[in-house]
Chains A and B, each alone.
Chain A
Amino acid sequence: GNSVTQMEGPVTLSEEAFLTINCTYTATGYPSLFWYVQYPGEGLQLLLKATKADDKGSNKGFEATYRKETTSFHLEKGSVQVSDSAVYFCALSNSNSGYALNFGKGTSLLVTP
Protein backbone atom coordinates (compact mmCIF):
# COMPACT_ATOMS: atom_id res chain seq x y z
CA GLY A 1 0.00 0.00 0.00
CA ASN A 2 0.86 3.66 -0.01
CA SER A 3 2.90 5.24 2.76
CA VAL A 4 4.68 8.51 3.42
CA THR A 5 7.53 9.00 5.86
CA GLN A 6 8.70 12.44 6.86
CA MET A 7 11.24 13.61 9.36
CA GLU A 8 10.00 14.03 12.87
CA GLY A 9 9.93 17.39 14.50
CA PRO A 10 9.83 19.72 16.05
CA VAL A 11 12.32 21.59 13.93
CA THR A 12 13.52 24.86 15.39
CA LEU A 13 15.38 27.36 13.21
CA SER A 14 16.48 30.94 13.44
CA GLU A 15 15.04 33.43 11.00
CA GLU A 16 16.82 33.41 7.63
CA ALA A 17 18.15 29.86 8.12
CA PHE A 18 17.92 27.21 5.40
CA LEU A 19 15.11 24.70 5.76
CA THR A 20 14.96 21.08 4.64
CA ILE A 21 12.16 18.72 5.61
CA ASN A 22 12.75 15.21 4.31
CA CYS A 23 9.94 13.16 2.81
CA THR A 24 10.12 9.70 1.26
CA TYR A 25 7.28 7.59 -0.04
CA THR A 26 6.25 4.07 -0.97
CA ALA A 27 3.69 3.66 -3.71
CA THR A 28 3.05 1.72 -6.87
CA GLY A 29 2.94 3.41 -10.21
CA TYR A 30 3.38 7.13 -10.54
CA PRO A 31 1.81 8.99 -7.64
CA SER A 32 1.28 12.71 -7.43
CA LEU A 33 3.13 14.32 -4.52
CA PHE A 34 2.09 17.23 -2.34
CA TRP A 35 3.17 19.43 0.53
CA TYR A 36 0.43 20.86 2.73
CA VAL A 37 0.83 23.42 5.50
CA GLN A 38 -1.27 24.01 8.60
CA TYR A 39 -0.68 27.33 10.36
CA PRO A 40 -1.64 27.57 14.04
CA GLY A 41 -5.40 27.62 14.42
CA GLU A 42 -6.02 27.37 10.69
CA GLY A 43 -7.05 24.74 8.19
CA LEU A 44 -4.95 22.72 5.78
CA GLN A 45 -3.55 24.57 2.77
CA LEU A 46 -1.84 23.24 -0.32
CA LEU A 47 1.72 24.57 -0.44
CA LEU A 48 2.97 22.91 -3.63
CA LYS A 49 2.66 19.79 -5.72
CA ALA A 50 4.34 17.75 -8.44
CA THR A 51 2.67 15.21 -10.66
CA LYS A 52 5.53 13.47 -12.44
CA ALA A 53 9.16 12.56 -11.98
CA ASP A 54 11.65 15.45 -12.02
CA ASP A 55 8.88 18.03 -11.68
CA LYS A 56 9.65 20.83 -9.25
CA GLY A 57 6.82 22.35 -7.27
CA SER A 58 7.32 25.83 -5.86
CA ASN A 59 5.36 28.42 -3.92
CA LYS A 60 6.12 31.24 -1.44
CA GLY A 61 9.85 30.49 -1.64
CA PHE A 62 9.38 26.78 -0.90
CA GLU A 63 10.49 24.15 -3.40
CA ALA A 64 10.36 20.38 -3.71
CA THR A 65 11.51 18.11 -6.54
CA TYR A 66 9.88 14.78 -7.36
CA ARG A 67 12.74 12.24 -7.33
CA LYS A 68 11.51 8.86 -8.48
CA GLU A 69 14.92 7.20 -8.23
CA THR A 70 15.09 7.96 -4.51
CA THR A 71 11.29 8.05 -3.94
CA SER A 72 11.67 11.41 -2.29
CA PHE A 73 10.02 14.84 -2.26
CA HIS A 74 12.04 16.93 0.18
CA LEU A 75 10.80 20.42 1.04
CA GLU A 76 13.32 23.28 1.01
CA LYS A 77 13.37 27.01 1.59
CA GLY A 78 16.44 29.16 1.41
CA SER A 79 15.56 31.67 4.12
CA VAL A 80 12.76 31.00 6.58
CA GLN A 81 10.69 33.65 8.31
CA VAL A 82 8.88 33.64 11.63
CA SER A 83 5.63 33.52 9.68
CA ASP A 84 6.64 30.11 8.27
CA SER A 85 6.11 28.53 11.69
CA ALA A 86 3.54 25.80 11.07
CA VAL A 87 3.09 22.07 10.66
CA TYR A 88 4.07 20.71 7.24
CA PHE A 89 2.60 17.53 5.79
CA CYS A 90 3.93 15.52 2.88
CA ALA A 91 1.29 13.54 0.97
CA LEU A 92 0.75 11.42 -2.11
CA SER A 93 -2.18 10.25 -4.16
CA ASN A 94 -2.66 7.56 -6.78
CA SER A 95 -5.32 5.26 -8.08
CA ASN A 96 -4.66 2.63 -5.38
CA SER A 97 -6.87 4.46 -2.89
CA GLY A 98 -9.22 6.27 -5.22
CA TYR A 99 -6.86 9.25 -5.36
CA ALA A 100 -7.32 9.92 -1.67
CA LEU A 101 -4.38 11.75 -0.16
CA ASN A 102 -2.08 9.63 2.00
CA PHE A 103 -0.30 11.85 4.52
CA GLY A 104 2.88 11.67 6.51
CA LYS A 105 2.72 12.38 10.23
CA GLY A 106 3.65 16.03 9.84
CA THR A 107 6.68 18.07 10.85
CA SER A 108 6.31 20.99 13.19
CA LEU A 109 8.51 23.99 12.34
CA LEU A 110 9.22 26.82 14.74
CA VAL A 111 11.16 29.81 13.46
CA THR A 112 12.56 32.16 16.07
CA PRO A 113 13.54 35.81 15.52
Chain B
Amino acid sequence: DGGITQSPKYLFRKEGQNVTLSCEQNLNHDAMYWYRQDPGQGLRLIYYSQIVNDFQKGDIAEGYSVSREKKESFPLTVTSAQKNPTAFYLCASSLTVGGYTFGSGTRLTVV
Protein backbone atom coordinates (compact mmCIF):
# COMPACT_ATOMS: atom_id res chain seq x y z
CA ASP B 1 0.00 0.00 0.00
CA GLY B 2 1.16 3.50 -0.76
CA GLY B 3 1.84 5.96 1.97
CA ILE B 4 4.29 8.14 3.84
CA THR B 5 6.79 6.75 6.30
CA GLN B 6 8.33 8.95 8.95
CA SER B 7 11.06 7.59 11.12
CA PRO B 8 11.76 7.33 13.92
CA LYS B 9 8.52 7.87 15.84
CA TYR B 10 10.37 9.22 18.88
CA LEU B 11 13.76 10.92 18.82
CA PHE B 12 15.86 12.28 21.62
CA ARG B 13 18.87 14.54 21.11
CA LYS B 14 21.16 16.63 23.21
CA GLU B 15 21.04 20.39 22.89
CA GLY B 16 23.46 21.69 20.27
CA GLN B 17 23.33 18.60 18.07
CA ASN B 18 21.90 18.54 14.58
CA VAL B 19 19.31 15.85 13.92
CA THR B 20 17.74 14.62 10.68
CA LEU B 21 14.16 13.40 10.42
CA SER B 22 13.30 10.99 7.64
CA CYS B 23 10.28 11.22 5.34
CA GLU B 24 9.72 8.75 2.49
CA GLN B 25 6.68 8.39 0.22
CA ASN B 26 5.79 5.82 -2.42
CA LEU B 27 2.73 7.64 -3.74
CA ASN B 28 4.54 9.19 -6.70
CA HIS B 29 3.54 12.61 -5.38
CA ASP B 30 5.39 15.60 -6.75
CA ALA B 31 5.04 17.86 -3.73
CA MET B 32 6.23 17.28 -0.17
CA TYR B 33 5.92 19.36 2.98
CA TRP B 34 7.21 19.61 6.53
CA TYR B 35 5.11 20.93 9.39
CA ARG B 36 5.74 21.53 13.03
CA GLN B 37 2.92 21.00 15.54
CA ASP B 38 2.95 22.59 18.99
CA PRO B 39 0.06 22.59 21.48
CA GLY B 40 -2.25 25.51 20.78
CA GLN B 41 -0.29 26.54 17.68
CA GLY B 42 -1.75 24.27 15.08
CA LEU B 43 0.50 23.11 12.26
CA ARG B 44 3.05 25.56 10.94
CA LEU B 45 4.78 25.12 7.60
CA ILE B 46 8.56 24.75 7.75
CA TYR B 47 9.57 23.92 4.16
CA TYR B 48 7.95 22.60 1.03
CA SER B 49 9.11 21.17 -2.26
CA GLN B 50 7.12 20.98 -5.47
CA ILE B 51 9.72 19.15 -7.56
CA VAL B 52 13.01 17.35 -7.14
CA ASN B 53 16.02 19.57 -6.43
CA ASP B 54 13.82 22.52 -5.54
CA PHE B 55 12.33 23.65 -2.23
CA GLN B 56 10.92 26.78 -0.64
CA LYS B 57 10.87 28.22 2.87
CA GLY B 58 7.64 28.15 4.76
CA ASP B 59 6.56 30.33 7.66
CA ILE B 60 9.08 29.08 10.23
CA ALA B 61 12.14 27.91 8.26
CA GLU B 62 14.80 29.45 10.52
CA GLY B 63 16.97 26.78 12.14
CA TYR B 64 15.88 24.06 9.71
CA SER B 65 17.23 22.72 6.41
CA VAL B 66 15.94 20.26 3.82
CA SER B 67 16.98 18.49 0.66
CA ARG B 68 15.03 16.93 -2.20
CA GLU B 69 17.45 14.76 -4.17
CA LYS B 70 14.84 12.10 -4.92
CA LYS B 71 11.14 12.34 -5.56
CA GLU B 72 10.43 9.85 -2.78
CA SER B 73 12.47 11.47 -0.02
CA PHE B 74 12.36 14.83 1.79
CA PRO B 75 14.54 14.74 4.93
CA LEU B 76 14.42 17.57 7.45
CA THR B 77 17.47 18.59 9.48
CA VAL B 78 16.87 20.40 12.74
CA THR B 79 20.03 22.38 13.34
CA SER B 80 21.51 23.71 16.54
CA ALA B 81 20.35 27.18 15.41
CA GLN B 82 16.73 26.22 16.06
CA LYS B 83 15.97 27.85 19.42
CA ASN B 84 13.13 25.60 20.50
CA PRO B 85 13.35 22.33 18.58
CA THR B 86 11.28 20.12 20.86
CA ALA B 87 8.04 19.51 18.95
CA PHE B 88 5.99 17.09 16.90
CA TYR B 89 7.02 17.07 13.21
CA LEU B 90 4.68 16.00 10.43
CA CYS B 91 5.57 15.28 6.83
CA ALA B 92 3.01 15.37 4.03
CA SER B 93 2.87 14.89 0.30
CA SER B 94 0.41 15.69 -2.45
CA LEU B 95 -0.23 15.85 -6.11
CA THR B 96 0.37 19.42 -7.16
CA VAL B 97 -3.19 20.39 -6.25
CA GLY B 98 -5.02 18.63 -3.46
CA GLY B 99 -5.00 15.05 -2.25
CA TYR B 100 -2.73 15.47 0.74
CA THR B 101 -1.36 12.48 2.63
CA PHE B 102 0.22 12.86 6.07
CA GLY B 103 2.77 10.72 7.82
CA SER B 104 2.36 9.58 11.41
CA GLY B 105 4.90 12.07 12.69
CA THR B 106 8.13 12.19 14.68
CA ARG B 107 8.21 13.53 18.21
CA LEU B 108 11.56 15.20 18.81
CA THR B 109 12.73 15.93 22.31
CA VAL B 110 15.89 17.93 22.86
CA VAL B 111 17.40 17.69 26.31
Residue of B nearest to A99 (CB): B97
Q: A43-B103, A44-B102 are in contact. Are A101 and B92 (CB under 8 A)?
A: yes
A57 at the binding interface (Cβ < 8 Å): no
Q: How many residues of A contact B (CB 8 A)?
A: 18
Q: A105-B41, A105-B42 are in contact. Are A99 and B31 (CB under 8 A)?
A: yes
Please give 6 more A-B residue pairs, beta carbons under 8 A apart, in addition to A99-B50, A103-B44. A32-B98, A89-B43, A97-B48, A99-B94, A100-B48, A106-B40
B56 at the binding interface (Cβ < 8 Å): yes
Residue of B nearest to A107 (CB): B42
| A-B residue pairs in contact (CB < 8 Å), sample of 7 | A44-B43, A89-B42, A97-B48, A99-B97, A100-B45, A103-B43, A105-B40
Q: Please classify the interface of chain B as helix (H, G, I), strand (E, B), loop, or mixed, using the class held by over half of its residues.
A: strand
Q: Do B90 and A44 touch across chains, with their CB atoms under 8 A apart?
A: yes
Chain B residues positioned under 8 Å from A105 (CB to CB): 40-42
Q: Say how far A86's CB is from chain B's closest CB, in angstroms.
A: 14
B96 at the binding interface (Cβ < 8 Å): yes
Q: What CA separation (Å) do A105 and B38 show in the bound complex?
A: 9
Q: How many residues of B contact A (CB 8 A)?
A: 24
1/0 per residue, CB under 8 A from B, across A52-80: the answer is: 00000000000000000000000000000
Q: What CA separation (Å) do A106 and B43 show in the bound complex?
A: 8
Residue of B nearest to A91 (CB): B43
Residue of B nearest to A6 (CB): B42
Residue of A nearest to B50 (CB): A98
Chain B residues positioned under 8 Å from A103 (CB to CB): 35, 42-44
Residue of A nearest to B38 (CB): A105
A81 at the binding interface (Cβ < 8 Å): no
B58 at the binding interface (Cβ < 8 Å): yes
